[in-house]
Protein backbone atom coordinates (compact mmCIF):
# COMPACT_ATOMS: atom_id res chain seq x y z
CA UNK A 1 0.00 0.00 0.00
CA UNK A 2 1.26 3.45 -0.93
CA UNK A 3 1.30 6.67 1.03
CA UNK A 4 -2.11 7.68 2.40
CA UNK A 5 -3.52 10.93 1.04
CA UNK A 6 -6.52 12.81 2.39
CA UNK A 7 -9.00 14.69 0.24
CA UNK A 8 -12.29 16.38 0.97
CA UNK A 9 -15.50 15.72 -0.90
CA UNK A 10 -18.45 18.07 -1.36
CA UNK A 11 -21.73 16.18 -1.29
CA UNK A 12 -25.42 16.98 -0.83
CA UNK A 13 -26.71 16.32 2.68
CA UNK A 14 -29.38 13.82 1.47
CA UNK A 15 -26.86 11.83 -0.55
CA UNK A 16 -24.49 11.65 2.43
CA UNK A 17 -27.34 10.40 4.69
CA UNK A 18 -28.16 7.72 2.09
CA UNK A 19 -24.47 6.78 1.93
CA UNK A 20 -24.27 6.52 5.73
CA UNK A 21 -27.35 4.24 5.72
CA UNK A 22 -25.59 2.05 3.16
CA UNK A 23 -22.47 1.95 5.38
CA UNK A 24 -24.52 0.73 8.35
CA UNK A 25 -26.28 -1.95 6.29
CA UNK A 26 -23.03 -3.12 4.73
CA UNK A 27 -21.34 -2.95 8.16
CA UNK A 28 -18.53 -0.60 7.16
CA UNK A 29 -16.63 0.86 10.11
CA UNK A 30 -15.59 4.04 8.30
CA UNK A 31 -16.60 6.09 5.26
CA UNK A 32 -12.99 5.86 4.02
CA UNK A 33 -13.08 2.05 3.80
CA UNK A 34 -16.44 2.14 1.98
CA UNK A 35 -15.19 4.77 -0.50
CA UNK A 36 -12.00 2.76 -1.16
CA UNK A 37 -14.11 -0.33 -1.97
CA UNK A 38 -16.43 1.65 -4.26
CA UNK A 39 -13.41 3.05 -6.14
CA UNK A 40 -11.92 -0.45 -6.51
CA UNK A 41 -15.27 -1.81 -7.74
CA UNK A 42 -15.36 0.90 -10.43
CA UNK A 43 -11.76 0.12 -11.47
CA UNK A 44 -12.61 -3.60 -11.83
CA UNK A 45 -15.77 -2.69 -13.78
CA UNK A 46 -13.60 -0.55 -16.07
CA UNK A 47 -11.16 -3.44 -16.61
CA UNK A 48 -14.03 -5.64 -17.80
CA UNK A 49 -15.05 -2.99 -20.39
CA UNK A 50 -11.69 -3.46 -22.13
CA UNK A 51 -11.96 -6.68 -24.21
CA UNK A 52 -8.16 -7.16 -24.03
CA UNK A 53 -7.89 -6.85 -20.26
CA UNK A 54 -6.83 -9.93 -18.29
CA UNK A 55 -9.63 -10.69 -15.81
CA UNK A 56 -10.91 -13.41 -13.52
CA UNK A 57 -14.49 -14.65 -13.32
CA UNK A 58 -16.54 -17.18 -11.38
CA UNK A 59 -19.42 -18.80 -13.21
CA UNK A 60 -22.14 -20.51 -11.17
CA UNK A 61 -24.61 -22.90 -12.81
CA UNK A 62 -27.57 -24.68 -11.21
CA UNK A 63 -29.13 -27.45 -13.28
CA UNK A 64 -30.93 -30.81 -13.16
CA UNK A 65 -28.43 -33.58 -13.86
CA UNK A 66 -31.22 -35.95 -14.98
CA UNK A 67 -31.16 -34.05 -18.26
CA UNK A 68 -28.33 -36.19 -19.64
CA UNK A 69 -27.81 -34.20 -22.83
CA UNK A 70 -27.37 -31.06 -20.73
CA UNK A 71 -24.52 -32.53 -18.66
CA UNK A 72 -22.80 -33.60 -21.90
CA UNK A 73 -23.28 -30.16 -23.47
CA UNK A 74 -21.82 -28.37 -20.46
CA UNK A 75 -18.81 -30.70 -20.45
CA UNK A 76 -18.28 -30.28 -24.23
CA UNK A 77 -18.39 -26.49 -23.86
CA UNK A 78 -15.85 -26.58 -21.03
CA UNK A 79 -13.47 -28.64 -23.18
CA UNK A 80 -13.72 -25.95 -25.89
CA UNK A 81 -12.46 -23.29 -23.50
CA UNK A 82 -9.49 -25.15 -22.02
CA UNK A 83 -7.28 -22.09 -21.95
CA UNK A 84 -9.75 -19.99 -19.95
CA UNK A 85 -11.06 -22.57 -17.46
CA UNK A 86 -8.81 -22.95 -14.42
CA UNK A 87 -11.02 -25.14 -12.24
CA UNK A 88 -14.49 -26.65 -12.06
CA UNK A 89 -16.18 -27.87 -8.89
CA UNK A 90 -19.37 -29.91 -8.99
CA UNK A 91 -21.64 -30.11 -5.95
CA UNK A 92 -24.69 -32.41 -5.75
CA UNK A 93 -27.27 -30.16 -4.08
CA UNK A 94 -30.08 -32.71 -3.78
CA UNK A 95 -31.50 -35.69 -5.71
CA UNK A 96 -32.08 -33.58 -8.85
CA UNK A 97 -30.02 -30.43 -8.67
CA UNK A 98 -26.34 -29.81 -9.20
CA UNK A 99 -24.25 -26.69 -8.69
CA UNK A 100 -21.24 -26.21 -10.90
CA UNK A 101 -18.72 -23.47 -10.08
CA UNK A 102 -16.31 -22.68 -12.91
CA UNK A 103 -13.33 -20.40 -12.30
CA UNK A 104 -12.18 -18.68 -15.47
CA UNK A 105 -9.28 -16.42 -16.32
CA UNK A 106 -8.19 -14.66 -19.50
CA UNK A 107 -9.16 -11.80 -21.81
CA UNK A 108 -12.45 -10.28 -20.69
CA UNK A 109 -13.95 -10.89 -24.15
CA UNK A 110 -13.09 -14.63 -23.97
CA UNK A 111 -14.19 -15.02 -20.34
CA UNK A 112 -17.54 -13.36 -21.17
CA UNK A 113 -17.91 -15.71 -24.13
CA UNK A 114 -17.39 -18.81 -21.90
CA UNK A 115 -19.89 -17.47 -19.35
CA UNK A 116 -22.54 -16.63 -21.95
CA UNK A 117 -22.18 -20.03 -23.64
CA UNK A 118 -22.58 -21.96 -20.36
CA UNK A 119 -25.34 -19.81 -18.83
CA UNK A 120 -27.46 -19.74 -22.01
CA UNK A 121 -27.38 -23.53 -22.43
CA UNK A 122 -30.96 -24.81 -22.37
CA UNK A 123 -31.85 -26.45 -19.03
CA UNK A 124 -29.54 -24.32 -16.89
CA UNK A 125 -31.97 -23.04 -14.24
CA UNK A 126 -29.81 -20.25 -12.90
CA UNK A 127 -26.44 -19.00 -14.04
CA UNK A 128 -24.37 -16.03 -12.96
CA UNK A 129 -21.00 -14.57 -13.78
CA UNK A 130 -19.17 -12.92 -10.91
CA UNK A 131 -16.65 -10.48 -12.36
CA UNK A 132 -13.46 -9.92 -10.47
CA UNK A 133 -9.85 -9.07 -11.18
CA UNK A 134 -6.33 -10.44 -11.18
CA UNK A 135 -5.61 -7.57 -8.79
CA UNK A 136 -2.92 -6.00 -11.01
CA UNK A 137 -4.96 -2.85 -11.65
CA UNK A 138 -5.53 -2.35 -7.92
CA UNK A 139 -2.78 -0.79 -5.88
Helix (H) or strand (E) holding 139: none
Cα separation of 39 and 55, whole Å?
A: 17
Q: Please identify, among the stretches 10-18, 35-43, 76-84, 93-101, the one whose residues bind Ni ion according to the rule CB under 5 A.
A: 93-101
Q: Per-residue contact track with Ni ion, 17 to 56, x per CB under 5 A?
A: ----------------------------------------
C-beta closer to Ni ion: residue 88 or 132:
88
C-beta closer to Ni ion: residue 74 or 98:
98
| 92 touching Ni ion, by CB under 5 A | yes
Instruction: Give the bridge partners for 132, in sequence order.
Output: 56
Cα separation of 4 and 12, whole Å?
A: 25
Q: How far is the CB of 100 from Ni ion (least distance, A)?
A: 8
Choose, by CB under 5 A, the member of 56, 70, 98, 118 that binds Ni ion: 98
Give pairs for 39-47: CB < 8 Å, separation 24+: 40/138, 43/133, 43/137, 43/138, 44/131, 44/132, 44/133, 44/137, 44/138, 45/131, 47/108, 47/133, 47/137
Q: Please identify, among the stretches 6-14, 17-25, 45-53, 95-103, the one whose residues bind Ni ion according to the rule CB under 5 A.
A: 95-103
Q: Please identify, among the stretches 29-37, 48-56, 61-69, 117-125, the one whose residues bind Ni ion according to the rule CB under 5 A.
A: 61-69
C-beta closer to Ni ion: residue 71 or 132:
71
Cα separation of 20 and 34, whole Å?
A: 10
Beta carbons of 88 and 78 less than 8 angstroms apart = yes
| 65 touching Ni ion, by CB under 5 A | yes
| Site residues, Ni ion (CB under 5 A) | 65, 92, 98
Amino acid sequence: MGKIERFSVSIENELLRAFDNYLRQARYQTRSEAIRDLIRAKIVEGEWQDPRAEVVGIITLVYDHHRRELTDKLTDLQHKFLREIISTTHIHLDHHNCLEVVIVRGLSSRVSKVANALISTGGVKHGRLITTTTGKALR
